[in-house]
Structure 1
Amino acid sequence: MAALRAAKQALRKEIKRRVAALSDEEKHRQSMVLSQQLFTHPKYVSCQRIAVFLSMHDEVRTEEIIKDVFKRGKSCFIPRYETTTSNHMDMVKLHSLQDMETLPLTAWNIRQPTAEDTSREEALSAGGLDLILMPGLGFDRSGNRLGRGKGFYDTYLERCMKHPKGKPYTIALAFKEQLCQEIPVDDNDVLIDEVLYEADE
């Protein structure tokens, strides 16, 4: 286990370095390419209930995707992380773009509803999810994912599996700089169904 942890840490550092070298323009350009890929993806087109992460500065930008989700009349859910006590995360309903713009910023500079904001529907308390767009630090082409080490998404996907609807389809959005030959994983790491990235011509 210690060797695996060390391997993951080294890889996190390496990927962070690669992504940090990207200009904002390049991040934006790749994000737009991936958004367009997603918009024609059959799983995206057919999904009704989708969970989308609100991007941090080193992640694929999701603003255009969220706009599109509302334009198509799908239900949009976003993560609410509980960082103080545990690695618990819920996916709570976002009502509109205006709703998103009014959410408070967390210490990680991500917008999310506060814990006191209990009026929002949690995805698993009702109809489950059809699709989850996954963030992460690194990915390989087999669907292995390197997260930030907190296990939020792995734990959430385990909860999804217990829902009557079953596990949603998972698509990771990755800058090509986040792709690795092979991600070191253990039994707790959940495989992703598909990784979207800009393929080199």
Structure 2
Amino acid sequence: MAALRAAKQALRKEIKRRVAALTDQEKVRQSRVVSQKLFQHPKYKSSQRIAVFLSMHDEIRTEEIVEDAFGKGKVCFIPKYLTNNSNHMDMLRVTGMEDINTLPLTSWNIRQPGDDDNQREEALNTGGLDLILMPGLGFDQSGNRLGRGKGFYDTYLERCMKHPKGKPYTIAVAFKEQLCSDIPVDERDIHIDEILYED
């Protein structure tokens, strides 16, 4: 376990270095390419209920994806991370860009529903999810994912598997600099169905 943790930490550092070397222009350019690929994707087209992460500065920009999903009448959910040292995350419904723009900022500088915001629908309490767009630091071609080490998404996908609808399709969106030949994983790391990047 310690060896695996060390290998993951070293790789996280390396990928962060590669992504940090990208200009904002290049990040925006690749984000556009990846978004267009997603919009053409049959799974995206057929999905009604989707979960989208709101991007941090070192991730594919997802604003365009969120806007497109609302424009196509999809039901959108975004992550709410519980910050009390747990790895619990909910996917809460948002109704439009105006709704998102009124949400409070977290310490990571991303918007998420506040702790007193109890009116929102959680995806698994209702109809489940068709598609989850997965963030992550690194990915390999076999669908292995290197997260930030907190386990939010792995834990959430385990919950999805218990839902009558079953596990949603998972698509990671990534800069090509986030691709690795081989990601070290253990049995708790959940496999991703597909990774979209500029190839």
Q: If the TM-score is normalised by the length of the shorter chain, which range does it land in?
A: over 0.9
User: Percent sequence identity over matched residues?
Assistant: 76
The residue identity in structure 2 corresponding to 1:22 is L
After superposition, the C-alpha distances for 1:100-150 in whole angstroms (9 at most, x for unaligned) are 111110000000001210000000000000000000000000000000000
Aligned twin of 1:164: 164
Aligned twin of 2:32: 32
Which whole-Å CA distance do the structure 1 matches of 2:127 and 2:196 have between them? 26
Which whole-Å CA distance do the structure 2 matches of 1:71 and 1:173 have between them? 20
After superposition, the C-alpha distances for 1:176-201 in whole angstroms (9 at most, x for unaligned) are 000000000000000000000100xx
The residue identity in structure 1 corresponding to 2:54 is L
| Runs of 4+ with deviation above 2 angstroms | none
Aligned twin of 1:41: 41
SS of 1:180 mapped into structure 2: coil
Q: TM-score, normalised by structure 2?
A: 0.99
Check if 1:126 corresponds to 2:126: yes
SS of 2:132 mapped into structure 1: strand
Which whole-Å CA distance do the structure 1 matches of 2:128 and 2:103 have between them? 23
Check if 1:73 corresponds to 2:73: yes
Which whole-Å CA distance do the structure 2 matches of 1:148 and 1:127 have between them? 28
Deviation at 1:85, TM superposition (A): 3.7
Deviation at 1:84, TM superposition (A): 1.4
Which whole-Å CA distance do the structure 2 matches of 1:26 and 1:96 have between them? 27
Deviation at 1:12, TM superposition (A): 0.1
| Matched pairs, number | 199
Aligned twin of 1:16: 16
Aligned twin of 1:109: 109
Which whole-Å CA distance do the structure 2 matches of 1:140 and 1:126 have between them? 33
Q: TM-score, normalised by structure 1?
A: 0.98
Which whole-Å CA distance do the structure 2 matches of 1:116 and 1:40 have between them? 37
Root-mean-square deviation (Å) = 0.4
Which whole-Å CA distance do the structure 1 matches of 2:162 and 2:174 have between them? 27
Deviation at 1:71, TM superposition (A): 0.4
SS of 2:6 mapped into structure 1: helix
Aligned twin of 1:147: 147
Which whole-Å CA distance do the structure 2 matches of 1:63 and 1:84 have between them? 27
Aligned twin of 2:194: 194
SS of 2:170 mapped into structure 1: strand
Aligned twin of 2:99: 99
Residue ranges of structure 2 left out of the alignment (5+ in a row): none
The residue identity in structure 2 corresponding to 1:131 is L
Which whole-Å CA distance do the structure 1 matches of 2:113 and 2:95 have between them? 11
SS of 1:78 mapped into structure 2: strand
Which whole-Å CA distance do the structure 2 matches of 1:95 and 1:103 have between them? 12
Residue ranges of structure 1 left out of the alignment (5+ in a row): none
